[in-house]
Amino acid sequence: SQYRPGCIVYRCLNTKQQTESQQSSADFRFYIENHTRNPDDLSRKQVRIYQLYSRTTGKHVQILGKKINANGDDGGKYALLVVETETFGSHIRIKGKESEHYICMNEKGKIVGRPDGRKQECVFVEEFLENNYTALVSAKYKGWYLGFNRKGRPKKGSRTTQRQQEVHFMKRQPKGRLDPLEEFRFTTVTKRTRRARRLKPKRN
């Protein structure tokens, strides 16, 4: 093998390894940043179904189509949300299970429902707050949050801040459903088990 005159072999190897490591790290960071800005359809995504409870209205966010409000009842069909999470980070897209429209924010900060959620305007970033609530900030318009007033009407993103109660939400399972992780914490009691308990002899 060839090597530079006056170069000690192990020093050359260390320099080469450091260069390759730095290049690999830079390429990985570039991939993550590029993927976050322009996510592709081939990447693995997590899909969950839950409700968004509004701290302001005491109701749930519902997507009726183009119109969106926070007046949905617990378990209402328009309050069931399909949340698509990207592989990297906490970037999500929120779609109504019934209406099949996505929550999006346009350049004026207005909240609208759209059938196509691939644009950056339909991507939000989850921010987990100290009070156990979650805030959703636009991935495209920094500092603009998804929010609703006391009547359940959407607020313009330009008039929102993270501290406002209007932008605080809580993830909740639909009425009558259990989180898959919670199902293992409860024992189902059937008629058969009740009968077995009655027939079990008492200890003296």
Structural domain boundaries in the chain: 38-172
Q: Report which of 108, 84, 110 is spatially closest to residue 96, judged by C-alpha positions.
A: 84
Mean pLDDT for all residues in the chain? 79
Distance CA 94, CA 63 (A): 9
Q: What is the DSSP string of 23-80?
A: HHHHHHHHHHHHHHHS--TTS--EEEEEEEEETTTSSEEEE-SS-EEEEEPTT-GGG-
| Cut 0.85: pTM above it | no
Residues 6+ apart with CB under 8 A from 88: 32, 35, 36
Is 1 a residue whose pLDDT tops 90? no
pLDDT digits over 47-95, tens only? Answer: 999 999 999 999 999 999 999 999 999 999 999 999 999 766 689 999 9
pLDDT digits over 128-150, tens only? Answer: 999 999 999 999 999 999 999 99
> What is the CATH code for 38-172?
2.80.10.50
